[in-house]
Amino acid sequence: MDTKHRLILQRHRRNLVTALNPADICDGLLSKGIFTQDMIEEIQNKPTRRDKARQLVTDLEMRGNQAFPAFVECLRETGQHDLAELLQSGDGAHLPLPIPVQPSPIPLPVQDPTYTEKPDRPDLTPPVVLPLRPVVLPVPKPISPPSERMRQNRPRRDSIQCYKMDARPCGICLIINNVDFEPASELKDRKGSNIDCDKMEKRFKALNFEVIVKRNLKNKYIKHEMSSLAKRDHSAYDCCVVIILSHGTEATHNRFPGAVHGVDGPAVPVQIITNYLNGQNCPSLQGKPKLFFIQACGGGEKDTGFEVSPDEAEPSLGGIDDQMDAIPMSSSSDSLSTSDELDARATLPTPSDILVSYSTFPGYVSWRDTQAGSWYVENLDLVLEENVATDDLVTMLMMVNNAVSQISAKGLYKQMPGSFNFLRKLLYFQPSQS
């Protein structure tokens, strides 16, 4: 499919997932050679109509040049005219007409060969018209670019597919919420973090997760909770989520940067936290997505941003009392014991099926409003609420990145979230049906 048509499908994905009736359209796409029988069966095996529609649109984007016009034609044939008009308009784009249909044959008049025309004799019998077999001119087939032809002939693979996310519950969501720090830690209490915790607890319960909340954990108890989570049997689940709300700092690493502080002061590196759930340490999560959301500073550096033209910026001021989730002048190695470093290097395999979403860029501070919660969690919750029914996780995290990047602390400081993404497939949450 060419880029223009793919962008139109992506632009109207929400409308398609909301209104499309896949059951009516699958046969048409199969008969036109756009989908294979295996693809149709995969769509039909999805549990809900929305899931079927989402899978259909995802597969459609991977087909050839004729997929889009055939899809529009199928919409019209099945009475889904509003969706057809929405796609055909393309916000002003003039799209190609549907796949041409062979014209009906028209007989050509032929005179009787025994008749000799004599224009001076008007009294002669008019010529006899004999019907012959109709002549049908072949309809030329559009020639696809070489790369497109190769794509159509290539066997269908599972490289761009969706994770199974329909278990009930979908998985366990562990939230570690560190608010009250011990005086010896020299870290301030994290006012406003309970707001973040409540939002995430409600959000992931709505996404069919079993939510476990742990508060004010010391360094060793963060590791203990992660170890307990890894020892559970996740065979009946499709996913696992860990959300950590705490102070943070830099740390030496070879895969995932950053570390999060226990309320007693010492920090646990993020790469060790993820290591508990890798395929070797938690076999029942092998091949299943492991998601980590880290609301903590990645270091002590403050970002003042850079100047852009007015039409590129949508400035938004932070709260009245914005605080940092960082410990100033912290050492990267203070929180790492020798045994922890060796353990991480010895047992951490390639981190497939893991995504770590950070509230801020490594090395920089992360801002939190004491009245409204952190910028990152507030926008993550909002984006999930508005887009979870139609968009995949990575797309939604880009929306979060953009929203947070528009905010300024004290009218000066900026923040840029980001992710380390080692997922192999698209991930769509399955919200509870209201």
Active site residues: 247, 297
Tokens of 272: 């060790």
Task: Report the distance separating Cα 228 and Cα 188, nearest Å.
Answer: 28
The Cβ of residue 202 has, within 10 Å, a number of other Cβ atoms equal to 13
Distance of CA 5 to the CA centre of its chain: 19
List Cβ neighbours of 297 (8 Å cut-off, separation of 6 or more). Answer: 247, 248, 249, 324, 325, 326, 327, 360, 364, 365, 366
Task: Report the distance separating Cα 350 and Cα 344, nearest Å.
Answer: 12
- Contact, 247 vs 260, CB < 8 A? yes
Task: Report the distance separating Cα 33 and Cα 93, nearest Å.
Answer: 25
Total residues found in the chain within this entry: 434
Nearest to 35 by CA among 19, 21, 55, 17: 55
| Burial of 394 (C-beta count, 10 Å sphere; 0-12/13-18/19+) | middle
Task: Report the distance separating Cα 150 and Cα 141, nearest Å.
Answer: 17
Tokens of 282: 């938690």
Task: Report the distance separating Cα 218 and Cα 267, nearest Å.
Answer: 9
Q: What is the DSSP letter of 22?
A: H
Q: Is 157 helix (H, G, I), strand (E, B) or coil?
A: coil
356 to 205, 271, 422: CA distances (angstroms)? 20, 10, 9
Q: Give CA angle at 424 (175, 68), nearest 5°.
A: 120
List Cβ neighbours of 314 (8 Å cut-off, separation of 6 or more). Answer: 406
- Angle between helix axes 67-77 and 49-60 (nearest 10 degrees) is 140
Task: Report the distance separating Cα 222 and Cα 335, nearest Å.
Answer: 13
